[in-house]
Amino acid sequence: MSRKHGRAKKQKNKRHKLDYLSEDNVVIDFHTGPHNDSYHPSHSYKTTPSATKPVKPIQAKNRAQDLFMSAIKTHTLIFGLGPAGTGKSYCTAAMAAQALISAEIDRIIFTRPAVEAGNSMGFLPGKLEEKFDPYFAAFKSCLISNAGKGVVECALKNGNISVEPLAYMRGKTFNRTFVVLDEAQNCTPEEMKMFMTRIGRDSTVVINGDLSQKDIRCYSGLHDAISRVHDVKGVYVHEFEYEDIVRSDIVKDIIMCYDDSEQRMQSYRTESF
C-alpha cells in the first residue's frame, strides 16, 4: 500500500468516527430534509431524517390530539391546557421533531419554571444543563419516541436542541425556533409576559400547563396570559378534557376523584363563610 493511499484511508476512517449516527446507522442532517408544509387530514405527520430511512408516521390518538397538532402546524402561539395524561407533551414533541428534521426551524428550545412539586430536591451538582436535566427528562423521552435516540442525541450535541431555564430568557429573541414552555401554570404573570414577548420570525411557541396542578401561591401567569391574548391573531387555545386522557383509565379516575374533592371542599368553604 502506498503512503498516499494509506493516509487517505486514515482520513476516511477519521471522518466516519466524527459522524453522529442514528440507531439505524444513518447519518442525520437536519437541514437537508424535505420541506412539507401541507396539512393532511389524516394527520400522518411524517418525519424524514433521511430519504432512505423509513419513518413511522406520527398518529393522533384521538380527536383532541388531532386538533392540537393541527393548531401547532398553523399557528404561532399555542396554549395546551388540560389534565395529566392527555398527551400535551407527546404531541408537542412530535411536532417539534418534525419541524426540526424537515428544516422548517433551526432549533428546539425547551424551558419551564424551576418550581418543584412538593418538597425541594435540594442542591443539584453539575453544570447548569445537568441541574436542569431532571426537568427535561420527560420531554426528551417524548422526542426520542418520535425521532429516535440517535437523532435527539445528535441534535443536543450540535445545539439544535437546547434546554434553558425560564429565568435566562430575558433579552433573547426566538427566530426560526420551536419553543416549548412546560408546566406553565407555575409561571408568574411577569414571567409569562417576558416569555411571550421573545417570539421572533418563523417560530412556533407552545405553552403547556394544567391549572389544577399549580404549585405557586400567587396568581398563575398561564391563566393571566390566556385571559389577555386569546383573541390575538395567530394564537390558539386548546383545552383537553377528562375523556381525552390516553395514559390509562385509572389515571382518568384518579384525576376526577381529586378534582371532585377539591370542588366539594371549595363549596364547603364558601358555605362556611
> What pLDDT shows up at residue 137?
87
Which of 78, 61, 79 lies closest to 209 in space, CA to CA? 79
Long-range contacts of 130-137 (CB under 8 A, 24+ apart): 132/163, 132/164, 132/165, 133/163, 135/163, 135/182, 136/110, 136/163
> Is 260 a domain residue?
no
Strand blocks (E) in 89-229: 107-111, 161-163, 177-181, 204-209
How far, in Å, are 18, 69, 89 from residue 171 at the CA level? 35, 29, 26
How far, in Å, are 61, 90, 183, 257 from residue 138 at the CA level? 19, 9, 12, 25
Q: What is the pLDDT of residues 222-257, one digit of tens each?
A: 999 999 999 999 999 999 998 999 888 898 888 888
> Is 49 a domain residue?
yes
> Is 165 a domain residue?
yes
Contact 178, 108 (CB under 8 A): yes
> What pLDDT shows up at residue 21?
36
> Is 271 a domain residue?
no
Sign of CA dihedral 180, 141, 88, 113: negative
Contact 256, 84 (CB under 8 A): no
> Is 78 a domain residue?
yes
Residue 5 CB-half CA count within 13 A: 2
> Is 251 a domain residue?
no
- Overall domain count for the chain: 1
Which of 240, 225, 236, 242 lies closest to 81 in space, CA to CA? 240
> What pLDDT shows up at residue 17?
39
Note down the domain range covering 82: 22-245
Name residues whose C-beta falls within 8 Å of residue 191's C-beta, 6 or more positions apart in sequence.
113, 166, 167, 221
Residue 241 amino acid letter: E
Q: What is the pLDDT of residues 31-48, one digit of tens each?
A: 444 334 433 433 444 444
Per-residue pLDDT of the chain (273 residues; tens, 9 = 90+): 555 555 555 454 544 433 333 344 333 444 444 334 433 433 444 444 443 344 455 788 999 999 999 999 999 999 999 998 999 999 999 999 999 999 999 999 999 987 654 444 445 555 656 666 777 888 999 899 888 899 999 999 999 999 988 988 999 999 999 999 999 999 999 999 999 999 999 999 999 999 988 888 889 999 999 999 999 999 999 999 989 998 888 988 888 888 765 665 455 444 544
Residue 245 CB-half CA count within 13 A: 17
C-alpha cell at 129: 444543563
> Is 181 a domain residue?
yes
> What pLDDT shows up at residue 103?
93
Which of 45, 49, 54, 50 lies closest to 72 in space, CA to CA? 45
CATH number at residue 53: 3.40.50.300
> What pLDDT shows up at residue 8?
53
Contact 84, 250 (CB under 8 A): no
Contact 225, 192 (CB under 8 A): yes
> What pLDDT shows up at residue 2?
55
> Is 265 a domain residue?
no
